[in-house]
Amino acid sequence: MRKLCLFAFALTLVVVVLGAYTRLTDAGLGCPDWPGCYGFHTVPKSEQAQRLAAERFPDSPLEPVKARNEMVHRYAAGLLGVTILLMALWSLKAVHRAYRLPAWLLLALVTGQATLGMLTVTLNLLPFVVMGHLLGGFTILALLFLAICQGRQAMPEPPRVAGLGGWYLAGLGALVLQIALGGWTAANYAALSCLELPVCQGDWLGQWQWSAFHPHGVPAETYQYGVLSQEERVTIHAAHRLWALVTALLLLALAWRLWQRRGMKGWGACLALGVAGQLALGVANVVLHLPLAVAVAHNAGAAALLLILTGTGERLWRYREETWHEAHYCPDAGN
């Protein structure tokens, strides 16, 4: 079961990165149908297959590179779904029942992800669906990492965690919102709406449009390349930048408090380095005008920060749980 969990975690990392790569190469509609590609199980390669593809989807000309990117992502996601299904079935006969609930929860989530993947294509990249698909992938990644952390042995030295709960929840909430804003920025093609630092297109406050955050957006036949006005895209980009500063401050404050506590220094150092790296990648995206490698790394950096906070939270929770059991079941716990 643990080996399946480790494999699923590694595969989810690959799927998340491939999803970012697919989105950033504008390959989200590389195949206009689902789950196949122009009615085939693979990207059409022969002349006859390409003619059939053109007849089936005359309004969506085949672009082999984009279609390949999309199908590689789908194959990896499909393999992940099968792996998590095996985990769920295996948990029914696992010795430790603790595996059962997480495995079936993951199966429900990956089923929802498959549905969102289908809707991403059938609704022509509707931003709200695209953002939901991103958040779903990050959620599965975090839950698999949590399952791996819970499989570790008991802590040899209990950490000092008093007073960290509030800071942890604030940092986690800020990061989740920042990831959602990043997904909204990408889904609405707003990443290149601001090409200056630290300001954004001069008077960006004067261009602020709350309509940019409407969940349904502007009705359109397709949302590829975005349908919002320039002012709305500037608003989304500026919101992502501003909340990045808030998130960074909260996470750095949490990292400092972790560094000061016994047994938590490693998590604090990892968190501080992750925040610094993510800020550097964000600045590079603006200065270098969103190069593909940097943009993909920025997505991976957000996933890394979420994993660091997941591991930190698991350690905090485990200590509280062990302390509670000692206080209630050990006669000498109070001495």
Residues carrying an active site annotation: 70
| φ, ψ of residue 148 in degrees (nearest 5) | -65, -45
DSSP string, 226-289: --S-HHHHHHHHHHHHHHHHHHHHHHHHHHHHHHTSTT-HHHHHHHHHHHHHHHHHHHHHHHTT
Burial class of 163 by CB neighbour count within 10 A (0 to 12, 13 to 18, 19+): exposed
Chain centre to alpha carbon of residue 303: 6
Give the C-alpha separation, 285 to 258, whole Å: 30
For residues 143 and 102, the answer to whether their CB atoms sit within 8 Å is yes
Give the C-alpha separation, 320 to 314, whole Å: 10
Residue with tokens 């008077």: 203
